[in-house]
Structure 1
Amino acid sequence: MTQQPDLRPVLARTQEWVADLVDGVRADQMQTRTPCAQWDVAELVEHLFAVEHRVAVLPVKGTVDDEPVAIPLPKDVSAGFRDAVRRAQDAWADDAVMDAQLSPPWGTMPGRAVLGGYVQEHLVHGWDLASATGQDGEALAEVSEQVLPMIKEFLPAQTRSEDWIPFDAPVEPASDAGPTERLANWLGRTTR
């Protein structure tokens, strides 16, 4: 059996990209709706804070079952988010975490397998944020190109009716959609 690669550097790239997007959000955009239908920009950023918190807590607690899905925004959103990213990255510094059995919301698996889910979450929510705020949603297109086939295998279209799947049915991408938009479309986001 082939061991999964160490995705910590890839996760770090997606986290830094999302941090750059958070930096680019203007105060007058906070109530703008996002492609993720249930959230406006402020609510999406609150969720992104919770994602970083979960990434940080998971290697320590082994689970995120009782962790929040949204965290209220601090006064300095950009600095607070970058601090949250640093804490999340630091939590994964020990190589032993990569083989530890961890329980994110999508099941129990080795840490190295967990990271792929968080890479996907950063890419899609980054695209949501970029789309809502007029920023570049394809900055990590090469990463999305690698993730899309894996996510199609892990989350086939026919599973969307299952209660545990938090995604809508795939949406047909625009003919000129980039890889990150196609990934978002696969997870039910409407095309721009």
Structure 2
Amino acid sequence: MDIRELDRRAVESTGRIIDALTDEQLDVPTPCTEWAVREVIAHMVDNHVNFLRKLAGEAPALSGDPRVDFRETAAALAALADNDEVLAAPYEMPIGTVNGRIALSIHFNDTLVHGWDIGTAVGVDVRLDEDLVEAALGFISTWPDTPEVWGPGKAFSARLPVADDASPQERLLALTGRSPAWSTV
């Protein structure tokens, strides 16, 4: 499946969770230990804005409501990603220069997993679409196991051990440093 379609589906899945959030839920802690729900959404919006500015030169003005900002910047990014030239263009990231297609792949993974983070934080039993999980596993598992890529403050959190018989979603969560059993209680 094309990365643009995978990304759109991840944004839609995560967007449904974000759209349902109450103001009070924005301050709930998440599996991303340094961030509450509001900060996870802000991180994703910042990623959208950076992508848009680097590849299009501009981004929509932010409203201050993280739910609205997520939707508006995600829609602008999806429109930008429809351009094949944008996906071939170089994109500077903390891990080095990649093309827009690889940057969008990272965005897809980030958005998908952060949807689980947010939903789980507010008590939703998030079941990610299995084909999205499989695509994310395929992509993330290709990244080198180096301290520049994995660990606190890096592209991906430190990997956690996972049982041999774990589901694909459990494997994805462990690969990205999340425990499927995480709870605020």
Which TM-score band applies after superposition, normalised by the shorter structure? 0.7 to 0.9
The equivalent residue for 1:144 is 133
CA-CA distance at 1:159 after TM superposition = 6.2
Sort the Cα spacing of 1:45 and 1:174 in 2 relative to 1 into closer, same or farther, 3 A: farther
2:168 equivalent among 161, 179, 183: 179
CA-CA distance at 1:132 after TM superposition = 0.5
Q: Give structure 1 regions of 4+ aligned residues with deviation exceeding 4 angstroms.
A: 157-164, 174-178
Does the 8 A contact of 1:142 with 1:179 survive in 2? no
Q: Does 1:132 align with 2:131?
A: no
- How large is the RMSD of aligned CA atoms in angstroms? 3.0
**1:78-129 Cα distance to aligned partner (Å, 9 max, x none):** 3332212111112222221121122133321222222211111111111111
Q: Aligned pairs, how many?
A: 179
Does the 8 A contact of 2:7 with 2:104 survive in 1? yes
1:191 equivalent among 161, 171, 180: 180
Does the 8 A contact of 2:95 with 2:149 survive in 1? no
The equivalent residue for 1:23 is 19
Q: Secondary structure at the match of 1:154?
A: coil
Structure 1: 5+ residue stretches without partners: 62-66
TM-score under structure 1 normalisation?
Answer: 0.77
Q: Secondary structure at the match of 1:170?
A: coil
For 1:143 and 1:56, locate their aligned partners in 2 and report how far apart those are by CA, in whole Å: 24
Q: Secondary structure at the match of 1:108?
A: strand
TM-score under structure 2 normalisation?
Answer: 0.80
Query: Which amino acid letter does the alignment assign opposite residue 8 of structure 1?
Result: R
Sort the Cα spacing of 1:131 and 1:153 in 2 relative to 1 into closer, same or farther, 3 A: same
Q: Secondary structure at the match of 1:102?
A: strand
Sort the Cα spacing of 1:116 and 1:160 in 2 relative to 1 into closer, same or farther, 3 A: closer
CA-CA distance at 1:161 after TM superposition = 6.8
Sort the Cα spacing of 1:148 and 1:161 in 2 relative to 1 into closer, same or farther, 3 A: closer
Does the 8 A contact of 1:173 with 1:191 survive in 2? no
